[in-house]
């Protein structure tokens, strides 16, 4: 392959110049290398010995012959070759190197081999004759890269056993003299030493592998750039695949729980695919969105499912929400559950201004960057297979009343109300079916029947990866299936395929990356969660099945069903099918070694189709005659388009290294969706057939576009790895705001001082690393939903149009002056490394202040709406102290013990809100208090005289019927502290790790739980927790629970009690979140079968929870949705 055109003039001065010809040549060269790389793959099979016999032949001819025989292509500049003239050579079955050595023996040409390309270069100097016979030091040049292909500056290259040592320059390059047969050792702090035997190659490319044990060397992805943890100015945390993979979870977010300071993740339900709420450093917005920005391999990803109906919730609520807000409501479920966990290399959590300002208006709530696995650069194909089988159970149950206790409660309530059960006419009274229709001797543990099942969890995935530093790939696939703890055959299935290809030209100037992942998820669930039914059904409730196996409706004497059989629900269907495509294309080109152009193009698509159908069989037999089958079909699509051209300039001036980044983002999101309600399907079998319906209605349809455009930049100055200054800035425009207020500037300044680089500390032996860092800057929040600045009318769909004409309705009050919400973040951190970084400690103080609050300002009904979106001058402050400690307690060859600990102490406060009293928020917010504050009644216990709950009124007197103004107590439900604690042990080939998560908190919402479940104890035929037994029975009793009663007079004190300070209970917990034990099998058999690694493991999730909380789970604190499950899984990992 010959490159036409003249050879570029040499010399330092020219190199810097941007010459047309050179650029063109480089481009051509790159293209040719690319092409030949592809061609080479097909010629690979031919690499056997070379047999040549030519006399005075032109070199070109020889090249063609060699290519024919071996598949090796030659790449060179024609001018270089002109000096080569003709050759004579005779070899038989020779190695390529031998042939090449002979060919160029006395020619001013050197060669180097990259894959199947032979690159020829004119010898730059050294006209001396080379003798191949006796070993003479030869100059070896090379370049050292880190695992991401970035040059490593300052790596040490030594010739083993000699004093010869050099350091790599600003471009990672080195030149050293060594003899063939000697070994070069390349070392760099935080990386595994690399040893290379000097052979015939004189040009080396070395990629160092990260020493995973050294956290400071970890490369942190900061979105538009990467950095060593050691040098980061910002507050960033990274969680690597090793920790993510250990956990049997299907949503990668759940693998982060408790592991990152400042990050709170709450799972709304234990059903697969359920909602997950993520908060980084607290709530910054009063009621705008508080979701972080998710970026997968550079391309934004939705934080919420599309809310296809007004109000946010789709037909069924079983999946739970992901903490969407009024302004930016989300549908049920969580989009991140459609990312295969096994495909993730690392997740970075960016928290402070230094890290997030570059994301401008989207960074106020932090950024979560997900990096997927890349191909291997090791040159060898690697096949990895994983298989996992697990079993999940509900973590805790509530001790409910047994039959005797239950019946006593019911009779006592009737006695207290003076109701004589015998005077109630026969068996037709619904309220007393439990006493006069049902068999009162029965006992059923409904928690066991309805939520006591075992969820099965199966996960299988595999990948093939290979390549080298120039071209590498990874192709993966996986299957995941999870069932529920409910009765019935429900499951969530997911299939994933993904690939990534990386290419770099020989000179590393041109680079390409193409990646895509496709996921198909099929979730079939019951229409409603069985948790509340399990807690409410009296223990005496009838058997589920009749003798003949049919559902038992327990008819009373006049053939009316006396209960709604809980399993009748299983006849209703809910299915959620999601297809997810994540794709990205990155092309980069280094114009000069210092200046790189890069463009990323991305496209993500999330398409969800839901179906739910109400079967006639879910109804009592007597109501079926009038029952109309209904079904709902929902489809929604979220699309993201991204184009991000960037310019990156890196150069070292003396001791200072400068990184400059300039780029622009052009992003567009498109949300489309509609809901179709139908009714009148003639049979259950046709519920799926939309045509069989007699009536159609489209309650909602969405077609929204969000456009976003920005210019961003970063300047990083690094003075000898000692002083680091980082400046970032972004100018943002978003279509979510009115035309007047679309643009805004954001920026940050951050600095770090690695004081252990000062001479003073260099002598220290204990203190191996010390860094002080601080950053300050602004970020914004545009999570307010699309078009909120427009006055919009929506179509109303009714099966029969009014007067056969369309109808429209007004759904919001608009505010064309909406602006960004701005968060100013201050972060100061102090990192220490002791004993060669075996102990690393970090303390960070963060203060985030959000102002110009975008508020869904609630309005009285008299305005026609409940809220309007406004910017109000409220300032909200989130202060947090984050502590983390990593310690390698024991580091021996056969035994290591490592401990990680993190702790966050957050404090949220409404700092100021001028003229709050003139706003509608005066009733719910208090200056100086957290946003989560709740005004509650002060609880005085049970009145020994009346047996009813009492409260303190505003005048200081006890009352059983407080009014709104009697809410005199402020209750703070924010977590006080939270964190995690991990210990990892490795003993020879056994690895064990345990991870505890802890939170000190009160229950997050006022709740009735303390006072009985869902209804006043005894008031209806509903079971109650056993703790309500401590009740008032007679005059003078001092009891926890008020008297049992069916009357209204008892209902209101009970519901008020839930609005009192006693309604808040301690929900602190310590949870053994994860235990993993694994064993690396090593046998001769494995060696023979080319199995590199066979790892057997056992994993447990949510194994043990220690909490005083009276409900089912202190984490999701819900009494109506399934808690996170306790999962135990076994599996194996095989690598070839």
Partner 1 sequence: MFSKKSICTLYILLILISIFSCKKLVEVDPPGTQITSNNVYNNDATAIAVMNGLYSKLSSTGFVGGSPLISNISLWAGLSADEFILWSGTTITALLYYQNALNASAHGSEFWMSTYPLIYVCNAAIEGLQKSSSLNSTVKQQLLGEAKFMRAYFYFYLVNLYGDVPLALTTDYTVNSLLSRYAKSAVYDQIRSDLSDAKDLLANGYVKNDAVTLYPTASAERVRPSKAAASALLSRVELYNNNWANAESEATAVISNTSLYDTVPLNNVFLKNSKEAIWQLQPVLSEITNTQEGFFFNLTIAPIGVNDFHSVHLSQSVLNSFEAGDKRKVNGNWINVFTDGSGTYYYPYKYKVGSIGAPVTEYPMFLRLGELYLIRSEAKARQNNLPGAIADLDVIRKRAGLPLIANSIPGISQTALLNAILHERQVELFSESGHRWLDLKRTGNVDAVMATATSLKGGTWQSYQQLYPVPVDDLLKNPNLTQNAGY
Interaction with partner 1 in 813-832: which residues (CB under 8 A)? 813-814
Among the listed ranges 301-309, 365-373, 737-745, 821-829, the one in contact with partner 1 (CB under 8 A) is 737-745
Using DSSP's 3-state secondary structure scheme, residue 1041 falls into: strand
Closest CB to partner 1 among 760 and 800? 800
Closest CB to partner 1 among 461 and 667? 667
Backbone angles phi, psi at 186, to 5 degrees: -110, 125
Among the listed ranges 273-281, 379-387, 503-511, 861-869, the one in contact with partner 1 (CB under 8 A) is 861-869
Closest CB to partner 1 among 381 and 924? 924
Question: What's the number of CA atoms in the CB half-sphere (13 Å) around residue 156?
Answer: 13
Distance CA 124, CA 119 (A): 14
Tokens 């780029």 map to which residue? 663
Choosing from 11, 12, 18, 1090, the residue that interacts with partner 1 (CB under 8 A) is 18
Residues between 610 and 629 with contacts to partner 1, criterion CB under 8 A:
620, 622-623, 625-626, 628
864 binds partner 1 (CB under 8 A): yes
| Nearest approach, Cβ of residue 230 and partner 1 (Å) | 31
Q: In the chain, what's the furthest Cα-to-Cα distance? A: 123
| Nearest approach, Cβ of residue 1030 and partner 1 (Å) | 26
Closest CB to partner 1 among 18 and 766? 18
- Cα–Cα distances (Å) from 964 to 894, 938, 967, in that order, read 66, 12, 6
Closest CB to partner 1 among 585 and 706? 706
Closest CB to partner 1 among 641 and 985? 641
Backbone angles phi, psi at 481, to 5 degrees: -140, 135
Distance CA 178, CA 196 (A): 11
561 binds partner 1 (CB under 8 A): yes
Distance CA 455, CA 489 (A): 10
Closest CB to partner 1 among 16 and 1087? 16
794 binds partner 1 (CB under 8 A): yes
Choosing from 39, 660, 711, 977, the residue that interacts with partner 1 (CB under 8 A) is 711
Distance CA 959, CA 965 (A): 13
Among the listed ranges 1-9, 273-281, 561-569, 1076-1084, the one in contact with partner 1 (CB under 8 A) is 561-569
Cβ distance 825 to 851 under 8 Å?
no
755 binds partner 1 (CB under 8 A): no
Site string for partner 1, 890-929 (x = CB under 8 A): ---------------------------xx-x-xxx-----
| Nearest approach, Cβ of residue 798 and partner 1 (Å) | 4
Choosing from 108, 149, 799, 944, the residue that interacts with partner 1 (CB under 8 A) is 799
For residue 1061, what is the DSSP state? G
Choosing from 143, 480, 560, 824, the residue that interacts with partner 1 (CB under 8 A) is 560
What radius of gyration, in Å, describes the C-alpha atoms of the chain?
35
| Nearest approach, Cβ of residue 854 and partner 1 (Å) | 16
Question: What's the number of CA atoms in the CB half-sphere (13 Å) around residue 1077?
Answer: 3
258 alpha-carbon distance from chain centroid: 13
For residue 487, what is the DSSP state? S
Residues between 1021 and 1050 with contacts to partner 1, criterion CB under 8 A:
1048
Distance CA 715, CA 619 (A): 66
Residues between 285 and 344 with contacts to partner 1, criterion CB under 8 A:
none
- H helical segments located in 632-788: 759-762
Residues between 925 and 964 with contacts to partner 1, criterion CB under 8 A:
963-964
Closest CB to partner 1 among 19 and 887? 19
Helix (H) or strand (E) holding 415: helix 403-416
Choosing from 13, 418, 860, 956, the residue that interacts with partner 1 (CB under 8 A) is 860
Distance CA 829, CA 822 (A): 23
Strands 630-653 and 656-679: antiparallel
583 binds partner 1 (CB under 8 A): no
Q: Which token pair is 680?
A: 């009148």
Tokens 């989300």 map to which residue? 330
Choosing from 92, 422, 547, 558, the residue that interacts with partner 1 (CB under 8 A) is 558
Closest CB to partner 1 among 281 and 646? 646
Choosing from 809, 892, 915, 955, the residue that interacts with partner 1 (CB under 8 A) is 809
Question: What's the number of CA atoms in the CB half-sphere (13 Å) around residue 3?
Answer: 27
31 binds partner 1 (CB under 8 A): no
Closest CB to partner 1 among 596 and 898? 596
Number of residues that bind partner 1 (CB under 8 A): 98
Choosing from 123, 382, 722, 731, the residue that interacts with partner 1 (CB under 8 A) is 731
Among the listed ranges 422-430, 744-752, 837-845, 1076-1084, the one in contact with partner 1 (CB under 8 A) is 422-430
23 binds partner 1 (CB under 8 A): yes
Choosing from 57, 192, 662, 926, the residue that interacts with partner 1 (CB under 8 A) is 662
Selection from 383, 582, 387, 389 nearest residue 476 by Cα: 383
389 binds partner 1 (CB under 8 A): no
Selection from 880, 664, 752, 720 nearest residue 354 by Cα: 752
390 binds partner 1 (CB under 8 A): no
Choosing from 38, 808, 945, 990, the residue that interacts with partner 1 (CB under 8 A) is 808
Distance CA 207, CA 221 (A): 18
Tokens 């793959």 map to which residue? 41
| Nearest approach, Cβ of residue 1068 and partner 1 (Å) | 30
Strands 117-122 and 109-114: antiparallel
Choosing from 122, 203, 679, 954, the residue that interacts with partner 1 (CB under 8 A) is 679
Among the listed ranges 334-342, 400-408, 456-464, 862-870, the one in contact with partner 1 (CB under 8 A) is 862-870
410 alpha-carbon distance from chain centroid: 48
741 binds partner 1 (CB under 8 A): no
Choosing from 165, 772, 790, 990, the residue that interacts with partner 1 (CB under 8 A) is 790
| Nearest approach, Cβ of residue 801 and partner 1 (Å) | 7
Cβ distance 852 to 875 under 8 Å?
no
858 binds partner 1 (CB under 8 A): yes
- Cα–Cα distances (Å) from 617 to 167, 550, 622, in that order, read 78, 11, 11
Task: Determine the straight-line distance between the first and last CA of the chain, rounded to whole angstroms.
Answer: 36
Question: What's the number of CA atoms in the CB half-sphere (13 Å) around residue 417?
Answer: 20
Closest CB to partner 1 among 23 and 969? 23
Distance CA 437, CA 558 (A): 11
Among the listed ranges 156-164, 336-344, 511-519, 782-790, the one in contact with partner 1 (CB under 8 A) is 782-790
Helix (H) or strand (E) holding 534: helix 531-536
686 binds partner 1 (CB under 8 A): no
Cβ distance 87 to 103 under 8 Å?
yes
810 binds partner 1 (CB under 8 A): yes
Phi-psi group of 967: left, alpha or beta (phi > 0 → left; psi -120 to 50 → alpha; rest → beta) = beta
647 binds partner 1 (CB under 8 A): yes
Question: What's the number of CA atoms in the CB half-sphere (13 Å) around residue 656?
Answer: 11
Phi-psi group of 45: left, alpha or beta (phi > 0 → left; psi -120 to 50 → alpha; rest → beta) = alpha
397 binds partner 1 (CB under 8 A): no
761 binds partner 1 (CB under 8 A): no
Distance CA 894, CA 912 (A): 58
| Nearest approach, Cβ of residue 320 and partner 1 (Å) | 23
Closest CB to partner 1 among 694 and 720? 694
Choosing from 666, 717, 841, 1070, the residue that interacts with partner 1 (CB under 8 A) is 666
Cβ distance 443 to 403 under 8 Å?
yes
């Amino acid at each position: 392959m010959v490159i036409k055109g003249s050879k570029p003039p040499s010399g330092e001065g020219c190199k810097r110049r941007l010459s047309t010809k050179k650029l063109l040549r480089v481009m051509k060269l790159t293209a040719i290398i690319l092409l030949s790389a592809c061609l080479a793959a097909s010629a690979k099979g031919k690499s056997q010995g070379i047999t040549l016999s030519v006399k005075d032949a032109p070199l070109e001819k020889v090249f063609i012959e060699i290519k024919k025989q071996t598949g090796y292509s030659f790449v060179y500049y024609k001018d270089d070759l002109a000096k080569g003239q003709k050759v004579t050579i005779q070899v038989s079955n020779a190695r390529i190197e031998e042939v090449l050595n002979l060919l160029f023996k006395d020619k001013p040409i050197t060669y180097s081999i990259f894959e199947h390309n032979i690159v020829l270069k004119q010898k730059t100097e050294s006209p001396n004759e080379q003798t191949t016979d006796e070993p003479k030091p030869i100059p070896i040049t090379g370049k050292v890269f880190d695992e991401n292909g970035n040059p490593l500056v300052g790596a040490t290259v030594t010739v083993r056993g000699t004093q010869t040592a050099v350091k790599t320059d600003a471009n990672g390059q080195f030149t050293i003299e060594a003899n063939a047969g000697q070994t070069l050792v390349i070392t760099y702090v935080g990386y595994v030493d690399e040893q290379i035997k000097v052979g015939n190659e004189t040009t080396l490319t070395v990629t160092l592998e990260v020493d995973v044990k050294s956290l400071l060397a970890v490369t942190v992805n900061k979105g538009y750039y990467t950095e060593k943890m050691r040098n980061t100015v910002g507050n960033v945390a990274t969680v690597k695949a090793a920790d993510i993979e250990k956990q049997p979870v299907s949503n990668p977010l759940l693998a982060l729980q408790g592991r990152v300071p400042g990050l709170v993740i709450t799972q709304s339900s234990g059903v697969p695919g359920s909602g997950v709420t993520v908060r980084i450093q607290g709530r910054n917005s009063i009621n705008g969105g508080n979701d972080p920005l998710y970026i997968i391999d550079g391309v934004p990803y939705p934080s919420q499912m599309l809310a296809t109906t007004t109000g946010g919730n789709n037909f069924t609520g079983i999946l739970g929400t992901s903490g969407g807000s009024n302004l930016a409501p989300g549908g049920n479920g969580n989009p991140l559950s459609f990312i295969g966990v096994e495909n993730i290399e690392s997740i970075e959590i960016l928290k402070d201004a230094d890290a997030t300002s570059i994301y401008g208006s989207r960074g106020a709530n932090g950024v979560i960057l997900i990096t997927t696995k890349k191909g291997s650069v090791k040159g060898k194909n690697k096949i990895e297979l994983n298989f996992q089988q697990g079993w999940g159970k509900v973590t805790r149950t509530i001790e409910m009343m047994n039959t005797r206790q239950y019946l006593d409660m019911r009779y006592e309530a009737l006695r207290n109300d003076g109701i004589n059960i015998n005077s109630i006419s026969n068996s037709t009274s619904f309220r007393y079916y439990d006493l006069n229709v049902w068999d009162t001797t029965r006992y059923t543990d409904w928690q066991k029947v309805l939520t006591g099942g075992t969820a099965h969890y199966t996960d299988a995935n595999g990948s093939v990866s290979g390549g080298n530093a120039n071209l590498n790939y990874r192709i993966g696939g996986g299957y995941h299936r999870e069932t529920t703890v409910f009765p019935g055959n429900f499951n969530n299935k997911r299939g994933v395929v993904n690939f990534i290809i990386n290419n770099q030209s020989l000179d590393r100037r041109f680079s390409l990356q193409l990646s895509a992942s496709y996921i198909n998820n099929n979730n079939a669930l019951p229409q409603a969660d069985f948790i509340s039914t399990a807690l409410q059904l009296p223990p005496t409730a009838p058997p589920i099945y009749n003798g003949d196996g049919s559902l038992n409706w327990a008819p009373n004497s006049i053939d009316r069903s006396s209960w709604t059989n809980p399993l009748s629900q299983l006849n209703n269907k809910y299915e959620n099918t999601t297809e997810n495509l994540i794709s990205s294309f990155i092309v980069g080109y280094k114009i000069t070694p210092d200046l790189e152009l890069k463009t990323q193009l991305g496209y993500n698509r999330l398409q969800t189709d839901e179906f739910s159908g109400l079967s006639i069989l879910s109804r009592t037999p007597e109501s079926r005659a009038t029952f109309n089958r209904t079904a709902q079909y929902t489809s929604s699509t979220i699309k993201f388009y991204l184009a991000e051209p960037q310019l990156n300039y890196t150069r070292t001036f003396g001791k200072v290294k400068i990184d400059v980044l300039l780029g622009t983002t052009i992003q567009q999101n498109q949300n489309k969706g509609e809901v179709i309600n139908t009714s009148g399907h003639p049979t259950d079998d046709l519920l799926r057939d939309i045509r069989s319906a007699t009536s159609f209605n489209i309650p909602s349809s969405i077609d929204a576009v969000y456009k976003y455009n920005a210019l961003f930049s970063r300047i990083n100055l690094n003075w000898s790895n000692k002083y680091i200054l980082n400046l970032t800035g972004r100018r943002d425009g978003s279509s979510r705001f009115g035309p007047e207020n679309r643009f805004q500037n954001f920026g940050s300044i951050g600095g770090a001082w690695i004081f252990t680089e000062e001479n003073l500390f260099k002598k220290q032996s204990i203190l191996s690393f010390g860094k002080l860092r601080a950053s300050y800057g602004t970020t914004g929040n545009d999570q307010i939903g699309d078009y909120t600045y427009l006055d919009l009318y929506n179509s109303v769909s009714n099966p029969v149009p009014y007067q056969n004409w369309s109808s429209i309705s007004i759904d919001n009050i608009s505010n064309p002056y909406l602006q960004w919400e701005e968060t100013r973040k201050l972060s100061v951190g102090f990192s220490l490394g002791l004993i060669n970084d075996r102990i690393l400690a970090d303390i960070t103080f963060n203060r985030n202040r959000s102002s110009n609050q975008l508020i869904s300002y609630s309005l009285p009904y008299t305005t026609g709406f409940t809220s309007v979106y406004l910017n109000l001058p409220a300032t909200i402050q989130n202060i947090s102290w984050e502590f983390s400690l990593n310690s390698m307690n024991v580091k021996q060859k056969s035994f290591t013990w490592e401990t990680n600990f993190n702790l966050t102490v957050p404090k949220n406060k409404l700092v100021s809100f001028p003229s709050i009293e003139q706003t509608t928020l005066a009733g719910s917010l208090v200056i100086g208090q957290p946003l989560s504050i709740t005004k509650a009644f002060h609880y005085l216990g049970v009145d020994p005289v009346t047996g009813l709950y009492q409260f303190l009124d505003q005048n200081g007197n006890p009352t059983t019927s407080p009014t709104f103004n009697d809410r005199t107590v402020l209750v703070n439900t924010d977590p006080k502290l939270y964190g995690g604690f991990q210990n990892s042990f490795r003993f020879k080939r056994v690895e064990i790790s345990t991870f505890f998560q802890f939170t000190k908190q009160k229950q997050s919402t006022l709740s009735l739980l303390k006072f009985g479940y869902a209804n006043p104890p005894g008031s209806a035929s509903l079971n109650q927790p056993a703790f309500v037994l401590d009740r008032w029975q007679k005059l003078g009793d001092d009891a926890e629970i008020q008297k049992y009663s069916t009357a209204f007079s008892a209902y209101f004190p009970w519901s008020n009690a839930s609005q009192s300070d006693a309604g808040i209970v301690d929900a602190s917990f310590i949870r053994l979140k994860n235990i993993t034990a694994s064993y690396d099998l090593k046998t001769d058999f494995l060696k023979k079968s080319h199995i590199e690694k066979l790892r057997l493991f056992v994993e447990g999730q949510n194994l043990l929870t220690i909490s005083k909380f009276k409900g089912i789970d202190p984490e999701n604190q819900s009494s109506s949705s399934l808690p996170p499950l306790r999962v135990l899984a076994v599996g194996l990992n095989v690598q070839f």
